[in-house]
Chain A
């Protein structure tokens, strides 16, 4: 029983980590709390759903569609809204409020286009194969979800650590001004970051949509709140923190649902978030930058 719960927790946790990675990346580089990240999650899910049901495309194409549509939406939000606010040096809260507006627009558009009912993926798409390890049954789908999440996260880590663009990005995270003086194309990398983060959010949306076989226009809201919890847990802008925070939240949520109360799983996440903010606002790994005097 416990082993089975641990499999569920790992599946959920790795998607939380994938989602939060994009969220924290945008905060680290652009210094924006991007509250439209949940809408990217939802858009990715719908994009994949549309390709696989309307055009009978295989799931791999669905994944690409999720990345592309969400990525482009993220890029559009950056180019149309965030870029102007950067140019104006608007204080931090202003871009956050603007992304709330973007979320409302996208959610409402999805409700208009697809209706408010829960949509489901076609049965033949979801393999019902199971692997049995001792007493644990693992669905092929769960293996794929964990596999895809970790593949994407590892790729991102490697890109950030070892490529020229990755180093430039880390330089921007330290100081955009200094990076620009050193010849880094800051605006270009801001846009690349927005695209990548949104694309990761879109894939996370597809994976959750597949796992629970349910896609709705409002699915972005709860995950956004969880993403916030994860990012605060791991420290804002901290990539490793997002990974550990995501896995931690997955385990905390599944185990408290299994052993405490089925309703209180969500309360655990936010109670935890609230406590961590009070005790250690910098998160488990991060540090808070504050003007002292």
Chain B
């Protein structure tokens, strides 16, 4: 038991981070599942984190309400900017969401209430491990149900061929807005959890690099199932800890992974179809069938 206590004392922050990153990767998975490459999710996370932290610090709201607000605030922003932004497609959408992320970061950097470049300090550590597990499990369950629902299938149709989906009578704009907004909710929740587990937040944590990190996790894991993003987030969060000996070159590994996955594993690490094939091939050989 003491060994476990030691382990927990050393690694609890890391385990919290894995959970929060997994939630972020799932948030991007949701937007990608509708074919939208958004670089705004880091900014949504930031909006959630700042909203939640400010409510706790100034208004002393109870934590569940703070979490809910942390998820809702970015959703409102996503609804407002989504309607005009989502008319853009492909690279134009990526660029527009990148610009939105930068505007948000610069605003947070310059506003009085957000504490400027120093950020917010002394946020009470209200996040416990079961908050993260509960929210992650709920999000996973909701997304799994969503995939098999009418809406999830519409997302998939839009991702595969927008024009054809429209011909089938799918409300493309509405579904895109839904995917974008729901992604913002998850990112905001991750931000709210993060703010209450790290004691302090600053605009630096929600910039372009973080948008790229979220993207890397999701792409590395693969978007063909929900396990992919969670796996990608786990690997990329634990990897820097294992690679401490590389010092400044540590980040290069993330870059190499991203390039390697794009070049050699276009469907990501966890591709259910490929894994199924491998399993079947292995079983055939094991049982000696032709």
Contacts and interface: CB of A to CB of B under 8 A. Distances in A.
B221 to A, nearest CB: 14
B255 A104 contact: yes
Given A100-B258, A277-B88, A291-B163, A108 B249 contact: yes
B95 A108 contact: no
A278 B84 contact: yes
A290 to B, nearest CB: 7
Nearest to B262: A98
14 contacts: A98-B259, A98-B263, A101-B256, A105-B255, A108-B248, A108-B255, A112-B247, A228-B99, A229-B99, A232-B95, A264-B110, A267-B106, A267-B107, A273-B95
Interface stretch (A61-69, A87-95, A132-140): A87-95
B263 A270 contact: no
A33 B96 CA distance: 13
Given A93-B94, A108-B255, A290 B262 contact: no
Contacts of A221: 208-209
A94 B109 contact: no
A270 B99 contact: yes
Contact of B262 (A97, A106, A111, A263): A97
Contacts of B92: 232, 277, 281, 288
A45 interface: no
A88 B264 CA distance: 11
A101 B106 CA distance: 24
Interface residues of A, number: 49
Interface in A260-287: 261, 263-264, 266-267, 270-271, 273-274, 277-278, 281
Contacts, number: 129
Q: Which 4 A-B pairs have the closest CB atoms?
A: A104-B255, A101-B258, A105-B255, A108-B252
B65 interface: no
A278 B237 CA distance: 35
Contacts of B208: 221, 225
A270 B258 CA distance: 27
B88 A85 contact: no
B257 A101 contact: yes
A84 interface: yes
Contacts of A84: 263
B256 A105 contact: yes
B212 A270 contact: no
B158 interface: no
Given A101-B259, A261-B110, 16 more contacts: A81-B262, A88-B266, A93-B94, A101-B216, A101-B256, A102-B255, A104-B251, A105-B255, A105-B259, A106-B255, A267-B103, A267-B110, A277-B85, A277-B99, A278-B84, A281-B92
Given A112-B247, A278-B85, A81 B95 contact: no
B100 to A, nearest CB: 6
